[in-house]
Structure 1
Amino acid sequence: MTPRVLLDRAEIPNGGGELRLFQRGHEFSIMLGSNELMNSRLSGSEEALATLPCERLSDRTAPRLLIGGLGMGFTLRAALPLLSAKAEIIVAELVPAVVQWARGPMAEIFDGSLDDPRVTVETTDVFDLITHNNAHYDAILLDVDNGPDGITHAPNDRLYSIAGLKTAQKALRPGGILAVWSSAPDAKFTRKLADVGFSVEETPVRARGKRGAHHMIWLATRR
């Protein structure tokens, strides 16, 4: 059996715990304690986080997207072929080491996507980019923590609060989409989105093919 090798460790800012990057053969995983946050074999729902909103914005010639959470780059890679040459994608990643892993041991997975001229990576909290940019984005794609019921970083709760969702709504252009990934459904969060005034779609997606675990993606459109 191919052994699993620990490649690196990284602290999440503000006491969020320690991330660990593992490799087994060609497979990578990122762990927080005993929780596997992501695995390079399971990309389906992260790709859907990009494809679902991008398909709905196909009529926009120069869309600006904000992706919260670089992860293993599946959302970014899925978005690129669906967007025009005039598109702009900003990726916010809180943990600097995750960006280093993307350019280092996981470079093959990223397949040059970080070097696309449409892409800018900001090592910062995505909430800061949302807060200071009104009517700035055509889509905000959030794959932060474990979804609204976060497990890694308590300040992420402000993203999913009523106040945080109102801030995200203001950051979107008219008709813009807030897309949120979660490991599980959350009826309370669906109600929050509706209470803020979004038009809401719930889309269950598979983590991998037809047999992977079900994850949830909300598509919340600014009216």
Structure 2
Amino acid sequence: MPTSYGHPEVLDRREGPHGEVVLRRHGGLLQIIANGCFLMDTSDGRSERRLVDAALDALDGRDKPDLLIGGLGVGFSLAHAAANPRWGRITVVERERAVIDWHLDGPLSELSARALADPRTKIAESDLRAYVNETSDTYDALCLDIDNGPGWTVTEDNGSLYSPAGLAACASVLRPGGVLAVWSAQPSPEFEETLWNAGFQQVRTEEIPVARGVPDVVHLCVRPG
């Protein structure tokens, strides 16, 4: 499949509560653009899939662990999680109605239709910050794939997710021994220190090579038992 050629074709453009979001097709790729800034596309997905697998690997072998995914994106993380029968309940929190619609009955359904039909799967239309502060549900793992990571946010208010208060809220929805896995487009030693300072244990960073540029990374840590 070619990665790009010609001019991108805009498939949908929405003005939401957090600004403009655009879905476009560029060659063989589908791309999401937020407020004029490239956010993600369907070119690879290996790091998003590794985000889910790394979280499962870091768990203590518990049966049918429940998973919370922050951010639906192009659907790589959800599709990969739903393809694994080891996961229990899978909840995806997505704040952009447009992104949800593109998966339910739009072009991105080609990636996520099977996952969305899985009875384990639920989509919650909400800002993740609000969700973790308001929900009474708890999970064994939280895979956080919001924006471009802790050191490079397209939407300014997403930065609070990676602050001590935001991480404390994330920890509050994790069961003892639960895993927080955070996707990032670039390494961040400073964020590792923030995780330690927030009370997480077993903090480590796993690099995932990409076709060009610096590797994507997954920051992993565990809520104390």
TM > 0.5: yes
The alpha-carbon deviation at position 205 of structure 1 amounts to 1.0
Find out whether 1:152 has 2:145 as its counterpart.
no
CA RMSD, 1 decimal: 2.0
After superposition, where does 1:1-223 map in structure 2 within 5 Å? 1-13=5-17, 16-57=18-59, 59-84=61-86, 87-103=88-104, 104-133=106-135, 136-199=138-201, 200-207=203-210, 213-223=214-224
The more displaced of 179-188 and 116-125 is: 179-188
CA contact (8 A) 1:201 1:218 kept: yes
* Structure-2 separation of matches of 1:207 and 1:17: 29
The alpha-carbon deviation at position 10 of structure 1 amounts to 2.1
The alpha-carbon deviation at position 83 of structure 1 amounts to 3.8
CA contact (8 A) 1:179 1:220 kept: yes
* Structure-1 separation of matches of 2:194 and 2:15: 31
* Structure-2 separation of matches of 1:67 and 1:10: 23
Structure 1: unaligned runs, 5 residues or longer? none
1:120-166, Cα deviation, whole Å (9 max, x unpaired): 00111112221134681101111111111343323222211111111
The alpha-carbon deviation at position 213 of structure 1 amounts to 4.4
CA shift in 2, pair 1:102/1:8, >3 Å: same
Kindly tell me the number of residue pairs found equivalent between the two proteins: 218
**TM-score after normalising by structure 2:** 0.88
**Percent of aligned pairs with the same amino acid:** 36
Structure 2: unaligned runs, 5 residues or longer? none
Q: Which runs of 4+ in 1 moved over 4 A?
A: none
The alpha-carbon deviation at position 167 of structure 1 amounts to 1.8
1:34-64, Cα deviation, whole Å (9 max, x unpaired): 5321110121111111111112337222311
* Structure-2 separation of matches of 1:182 and 1:12: 24
1:74-129, Cα deviation, whole Å (9 max, x unpaired): 011111233437x1011000100001111211211224211110000011111222
The alpha-carbon deviation at position 216 of structure 1 amounts to 1.5
CA contact (8 A) 2:103 2:113 kept: no
**TM-score after normalising by structure 1:** 0.89
The alpha-carbon deviation at position 24 of structure 1 amounts to 2.8
The alpha-carbon deviation at position 17 of structure 1 amounts to 2.7
